[in-house]
Structure 1
Amino acid sequence: MNPRGPRNFRATLYVGDLHQDINRAILYQKFSTAGAVYSIKVCSDKATRRSLGYAYVNFYRRTDAQRALDTLNFDVVMGKPMRIMWYEPDPTMRRSTVGNVYLHNLDESICSKALYDTFSIFGHISSCKVVCDEKGKSKGYGFVHFTSQEVAHVAIEKLNGMMFNDRKAFLMPYKTRQDREAEKRQWAEKECEVELRARAQEYTYLLIKNFGEDISNDKLNEVFRQYGECLSYVYLKMIT
């Protein structure tokens, strides 16, 4: 790779879920079949120098990058399917949950490519992944990130509760951990409020005022017990 010309950031692909032993040479051999490659960067840990499992592949032309995305996405390299998507330089966009669909109760046979093939009929997908353990076995959940929130809603309405192979999968809008924790707090507050209201309905409290100074707790009980049992009573004397 001997760059001859300006770098085109619009032609950069993110390549994830890579085997730790994959290097630039292996990726170049794979991606150069789609067009002229400007540069490749395999990201690694600064301390250990071990691969972090993802890389960036930059082409001279966006059309070649598009061809690589269309033809190489989920190709198996060293036993692991690559997950390819467009590189997004804006970190706020990368963290955005708009259009992101969370799926759970997935059959173990469902892979990322199967999800992509199923959901791509609804609209453009920026990222699609079934979460797996270290041995490559599905954990039973995944994500499909559409570029449009409207498309995500349609996909949820159409496929929520649908059988994926032998299991019924459930879909919902993806929420960040902070959003889920805030939602839990709101539910807890509502449950606490409902419980307090229920307890308040079990008892009747009376506030009594404008009586003489000779009143006492015993006299309060004597006066009001003729109307029913007094569970508690207290006389508060103002200190002047």
Structure 2
Amino acid sequence: MSSKHRMMGSNNGTNGDGIDNSKTNLIINYLPQQMTDQDFRVLFAQIGDIRSAKIIRKKATGYSYGFGFVDYLRPEDAERAIHSLNGHLVEHKKIKVAFARPSGESIKQANLYVKNLPTNYSEHDVRELFAPFGAIIQCRIVGNRGVAFVLYDLHEQAIAAIDQMNGKVLPGAVAGLNVKFANDNNQKNRNSNNNPKSNRGSGSPYGASRGYSYSHMPYEAYTSSG
């Protein structure tokens, strides 16, 4: 099956066989940095036949962002993969296996840009800080600059986090938190810099790969890459 065919199926909520891909497409988090695409495929192929399996990587360097997608041929195999492999230990890391979020209004604008965190904060610290507002799909610290991205499952969860956390001063921080939608920050960067390089999505740890903003990068990166 061609990548174009798969992408067309994903856009209307079905895969190339007419099956609802919200029931076959999985997102896998906390993958070890050293895990290869072949190892990733083999791990999930033991459950059932796979249409596609892909670890999301930085295009320029091949750096793994620590998550990937697996699309099964049959919904029952996707269910079995969740039950069998969620929490499975891979190279000392427990992977998280869940259904990937489908495209839709409820998941747009769910990614937050967070600034002025204490520079000693880890990804775990940021997750704990923002977990009370909803399910976090991805969390990424950007260097040691007190900046992070937090991707929620739903738009309203992101709104709640902004409402409660923006301006909050944390112990060890030099200023109150600046919490806003990540694409707002990217748009500001584009408007203030006419250099074509500004369109690379430097405000996101994933970049604006293939023209998609990080507001729904994990799902779109998969559906557009084939």
TM-score of the two chains, using structure 2 as the length reference: 0.49
| Higher RCO (C-alpha 8 Å, min separation 6) | 2
Q: Which has the higher helix share?
A: 2
